Amino acid sequence: MLYLPTDSLDPNYYFALEEYLMTQKALKEELFMIWQTDFTVMLGNYQNAYVELNLPELEKDHVTITRRNTGGGTIFTDQGGWQYSFISPRPQGDKRHEDIDFQRFMQSIIHSLNNLAIPAEMNSRNDLAIHGKKISGNAQCFKGDYTLHHGSLLFDSNLSAMARYLNPAKHKLISKGIKSVKDRTTNIKNYCPDGWDAKTFKDALVKEILGDQPNYFQLSEEDEQAIQKIKQEKFESWDWVFGRNPQFSLVNEAVLAGGLLKLHCQVEKGVIQSLLFEGDFFSAHDLSEVEESLKGISFNKKAVQDHFEKHYPQDLIHNISNQEIVDTLFKDL
């Protein structure tokens, strides 16, 4: 197995690196890497950012929002934890390698953790846990002739920040009979020898997986340039992170000084398709014109604020400010 040492804290770099290795590098054997990020939330490929995330908190704290190539749920990562990636060539003509299979990769991590006296076990189709509390989520996809399997390891992560930033699906919370993300997660550090920090843990884990003399893999300057191109053009783009959101609609309302304001909005690929005003308020403006003007605007609070400031500098509704309209539209998002 090849081992690629890493030192970046940029999640988009790693997602671009994974894609590059699978689509352009033609690896002949399996590769493993373990990496960290600054405060980041990572959406699964098929998830809706407006449902999964507490966007006001993330924007206030300048947390990176990104989206993976793989499916699964949203996770929070920071320098208190680790992410690992396996990139494995797929045997051609073997039908068994055409389906998602978490077992082989997760068992490798479980075995290594158990050898370090950390009582990790499989908790669901793609989670690892210690005594029923999640320490790792895993995801997988195919690209070309390769399988990508990557996962997270909560070593000493900021679980309070995780609870603030994520809006877990209600069915997950209800089915597990718990109150919050923080209630169902734990840190691996609690089960390690005293004095272990994140680097000590990482070094011990790598030794368990790869042995004393890893087969190091190095990237060339040409490789790095190609990775940066993928990062900038795909993973850092608004279209990738927000434009891939599934179509959805919302109805938000507020009782304000000028009366009841209800907003009906339809969004597709992160762009407003329609917005309708409803309520018992008064307005001297033709709001249908405003509704039409908002079509095609990014469903983003700042983009809508900028639109109002540029085209409608005066308040549109009697005793309801334009800012209150925007705040109502993005209420609880």
End-of-domain residue from the set 240, 257, 292: 240
Phi, psi of 87 (to 5 degrees): -120, 115
Structure confidence at residue 73 (pLDDT): 87
**267-286 average pLDDT score:** 90
d(CA 22, CA 206): 22
Looking up residue 217, the CATH number of its domain turns out to be 3.30.930.10
**19-45 average pLDDT score:** 95
Cβ contact 64:40 at 8 Å: yes
Give the CA diameter of the chain: 76
Structure confidence at residue 206 (pLDDT): 97
Structure confidence at residue 143 (pLDDT): 87
Distances (CA, A) of 111 to 121, 147, 187: 9, 21, 18
Which percentage of the chain shows pLDDT scores above 90?
Answer: 72
pTM flag (> 0.85): no
Q: Is the pLDDT of residue 184 over 60?
A: yes
Q: Is the pLDDT of residue 223 over 90?
A: yes
Which percentage of the chain shows pLDDT scores above 70?
Answer: 93
d(CA 270, CA 256): 28
User: Looking at the chain, how many residues does it have?
Assistant: 333
d(CA 126, CA 110): 12
Structure confidence at residue 225 (pLDDT): 98
d(CA 148, CA 142): 6
Q: Is the pLDDT of residue 180 over 50?
A: no
d(CA 153, CA 33): 13
Structure confidence at residue 222 (pLDDT): 97
Structure confidence at residue 171 (pLDDT): 46
pLDDT in tens, 293-307: 999 999 989 999 999
Note whether 20 and 56 are same-domain residues. Answer: yes
Looking up residue 274, the CATH number of its domain turns out to be 3.30.390.50
End-of-domain residue from the set 190, 217, 240: 240
Give the pLDDT band of residue 187 (cuts 50, 70, 90). Answer: very high
What per-residue string of b and e applies to 259-272 under the rule 16 or more CB within 10 Å gives b? eebbbebbbeebbb
pLDDT in tens, 252-267: 999 999 999 999 999 9
Note whether 20 and 105 are same-domain residues. Answer: yes
Cβ contact 100:153 at 8 Å: no
Note whether 196 and 276 are same-domain residues. Answer: no
